[in-house]
Chains A and B, each alone.
Chain A
Amino acid sequence: MMETPCHISRDEALIFERSRPGRTAYSLPPLDVPTVPLETWIEARWLRPEPVAGLPEVSEVDVIRHFTRLSRWNYAVDVGMYPLGSCTMKYNPKLNERVARLDGFALHHPLTPEELSQGSLEVLKTLEELLCEITGMAAGCLQPAAGAHGELTGLLLIRACLEARGDPRRKVLIPDSAHGTNPASAAICGYRVQTIPSNARGLIDVEALRRAADHELAALMLTNPNTLGLFEEEIEEITRIVHEAGGLVYMDGANMNALVGIARPGDMGVDVIHLNIHKTFSTPHGGGGPGAGPVLVTAELEPFLPVPRIVRRADGQLVLEYDRPHSIGRVRAFYGNFGVLVRGLSYILTMGPEGLREVAETAVLNANYLAHQLKDTYEIAYPGPVMHEVVFSDKRQRAHGVRNVDIAKRLIDYGFHPPTMSFPLIVPGALMVEPTETEGREELDLFIAAMKAIDRECRENPELVRTAPHRTRVGRLDEVAAARHLVLRWRPEDQSARSQTSVEGGAGEPVASPES
Chain B
Amino acid sequence: MRYIPNSPEERAEMLREIGCPTIEHLFRPIPEKFRLKEPLRLPPARSEVEVMAFFRELAARNAAATEYAVFLGAGAYHHFIPSVVEALISRAEFSTVYTPYQPEIAQGTLQALFEYQTLICQITGMEVANASLYDGSTAVAEAVLMAERVTRRREILVARSVHPHYREVIATYTRALDVPLRLLDYDPETGSVDLNAVAPSTETAALVVQSPNFFGVIEDIAALAERAHDVGALLIVAITEPISLGLLRPPGELGADIVVGEGQSFGIPLSFGGPYLGIFATRERFVRQMPGRIIGQAFDRHGRRGFVMTLATREQYIRREKATSNICTSQELCAIMAAIYLSTMGPRGLRELAEQNAQKAAYLAREIARQSGFQLRFSGSHFNEFVVQSEQPVALVLERLCERKILGGLPLEPYYPELRGCFLVCVTEMIPRSTMETYVRVLSEL
Contact B249 A48 (CB under 8 A): yes
Q: Which residues of B contact A473 (CB under 8 A)?
A: 104, 107, 304, 306
Contact B104 A412 (CB under 8 A): yes
- Identify which of residues 73-105 in chain B touch chain A, using a CB-to-CB cut-off of 8 Å: 74-76, 78, 80, 82, 84, 86-88, 90-105
Contact A72 B108 (CB under 8 A): yes
Contact A351 B274 (CB under 8 A): no
Can you name 21 A-B pairs with beta carbons within 8 Å? A24-B346, A51-B347, A66-B343, A67-B336, A90-B3, A107-B66, A110-B274, A236-B33, A263-B30, A286-B333, A288-B131, A352-B43, A385-B26, A421-B101, A438-B5, A474-B107, A477-B298, A483-B296, A486-B287, A486-B311, A489-B121
B160 on the interface (CB 8 Å rule)?
A: no
Q: Interface code B343-373, partner A: CB below 8 Å = 1, 0 otherwise?
A: 1111111111101101111110110000000
Q: Which residues of B contact A385 (CB under 8 A)?
A: 26, 28-29
Q: Interface code B25-51, partner A: CB below 8 Å = 1, 0 otherwise?
A: 011111101111001111111101001
Contact B248 A76 (CB under 8 A): no
**Complexed CA–CA distance, A469 and B302 (Å):** 13
- Identify which of residues 1-15 in chain B touch chain A, using a CB-to-CB cut-off of 8 Å: 1, 3-6, 10-11, 13-15
**Complexed CA–CA distance, A122 and B383 (Å):** 35
**6 further A-B pairs in the complex, CB-CB below 8 A; given A122-B61, A330-B137:** A89-B98, A133-B42, A147-B328, A288-B131, A366-B14, A489-B128
Q: Interface code A202-235, partner B: CB below 8 Å = 1, 0 otherwise?
A: 0000000000000000000000000000110101
- Identify which of residues 407-440 in chain B touch chain A, using a CB-to-CB cut-off of 8 Å: 407, 410, 429, 432-433, 436
Contact A120 B62 (CB under 8 A): yes
B112 on the interface (CB 8 Å rule)?
A: yes
A111 on the interface (CB 8 Å rule)?
A: yes
Contact A355 B1 (CB under 8 A): yes
**Complexed CA–CA distance, A273 and B92 (Å):** 30
**Complexed CA–CA distance, A503 and B310 (Å):** 25
Contact A193 B300 (CB under 8 A): no
Contact B245 A52 (CB under 8 A): yes
Contact A288 B329 (CB under 8 A): yes
A245 on the interface (CB 8 Å rule)?
A: no
Contact B249 A184 (CB under 8 A): no
**Which chain A residue shows the least CB distance to B65?**
A107
Q: Which of B87, B177, B312 is in CB contact (< 8 Å) with A64?
A: B87
A381 → B minimal CB distance (Å) = 17
A382 → B minimal CB distance (Å) = 12
Q: Which of A36-44, A294-302, A391-399, A451-459 contacts B (4 or more CB under 8 A)?
A: A36-44
Q: Interface code A161-199, partner B: CB below 8 Å = 1, 0 otherwise?
A: 000000000000000000111011111111001000000
A264 → B minimal CB distance (Å) = 7
- Most chain A CB neighbours (cut-off 10 Å) among B117, B271, B319, B328: B271
B198 on the interface (CB 8 Å rule)?
A: no
Q: Which of B166-174, B201-209, B226-234 contacts A (4 or more CB under 8 A)?
A: B166-174
Q: Which residues of B contact A490 (CB under 8 A)?
A: 114-115, 118
Contact A489 B114 (CB under 8 A): yes
Q: Which residues of A contact B58 (CB under 8 A)?
A: 104, 119-120, 122-123
A152 on the interface (CB 8 Å rule)?
A: yes
Q: Which residues of A contact B118 (CB under 8 A)?
A: 14, 16, 54, 489-490
B123 on the interface (CB 8 Å rule)?
A: yes
A4 on the interface (CB 8 Å rule)?
A: no
Contact B4 A362 (CB under 8 A): yes
Q: Interface code A224-252, partner B: CB below 8 Å = 1, 0 otherwise?
A: 00000011010110000000000000000
**Which chain A residue shows the least CB distance to B61?**
A119
**Complexed CA–CA distance, A60 and B345 (Å):** 10
* Number of A-B residue pairs with CB-CB distance less than 8 Å in the complex they form: 721
Q: Which residues of B contact A122 (CB under 8 A)?
A: 58, 61
B397 on the interface (CB 8 Å rule)?
A: no
B176 on the interface (CB 8 Å rule)?
A: yes
Contact A26 B166 (CB under 8 A): no
User: Which 4 interchain pairs have the tightest Cβ spacing?
Assistant: A104-B59, A334-B273, A352-B45, A286-B333
**Complexed CA–CA distance, A365 and B21 (Å):** 12
**Complexed CA–CA distance, A334 and B169 (Å):** 11
A25 on the interface (CB 8 Å rule)?
A: yes
B17 on the interface (CB 8 Å rule)?
A: yes
Contact A145 B128 (CB under 8 A): no
Q: Interface code A475-507, partner B: CB below 8 Å = 1, 0 otherwise?
A: 111110111001111100000011011011111
Contact B115 A103 (CB under 8 A): no
**Complexed CA–CA distance, A29 and B352 (Å):** 10
Contact A55 B304 (CB under 8 A): no
**Complexed CA–CA distance, A97 and B326 (Å):** 28
Q: Interface code B130-172, partner A: CB below 8 Å = 1, 0 otherwise?
A: 0110111110000001000000000000000001011011011
A149 on the interface (CB 8 Å rule)?
A: yes
Contact A329 B172 (CB under 8 A): yes
**Complexed CA–CA distance, A79 and B45 (Å):** 27
- Identify which of residues 145-167 in chain A touch chain B, using a CB-to-CB cut-off of 8 Å: 145-149, 151-152, 156, 159
Contact A184 B329 (CB under 8 A): no
Q: Which of A29, A82, A106, A437 is in CB contact (< 8 Å) with B429?
A: A29
Contact B272 A329 (CB under 8 A): no
Contact A477 B103 (CB under 8 A): yes
**Complexed CA–CA distance, A365 and B68 (Å):** 50
Q: Which residues of B contact A262 (CB under 8 A)?
A: 27, 30, 35-36
B344 → A minimal CB distance (Å) = 4
Q: Which of A57, A418, A479, A501 is in CB contact (< 8 Å) with B303?
A: A501
Q: Which residues of A contact B343 (CB under 8 A)?
A: 15, 25, 55-56, 58, 63, 66
Q: Interface code B254-276, partner A: CB below 8 Å = 1, 0 otherwise?
A: 00000000100000011111111
Contact A498 B349 (CB under 8 A): no
Q: Which residues of A contact B62 (CB under 8 A)?
A: 104-105, 108, 112, 116-120
**Complexed CA–CA distance, A361 and B76 (Å):** 42
Q: Which residues of B contact A120 (CB under 8 A)?
A: 58, 62, 272
A140 on the interface (CB 8 Å rule)?
A: no
Contact A77 B356 (CB under 8 A): no
Contact A108 B248 (CB under 8 A): no
- Most chain A CB neighbours (cut-off 10 Å) among B5, B105, B127: B105
B392 on the interface (CB 8 Å rule)?
A: no
Contact A42 B248 (CB under 8 A): yes
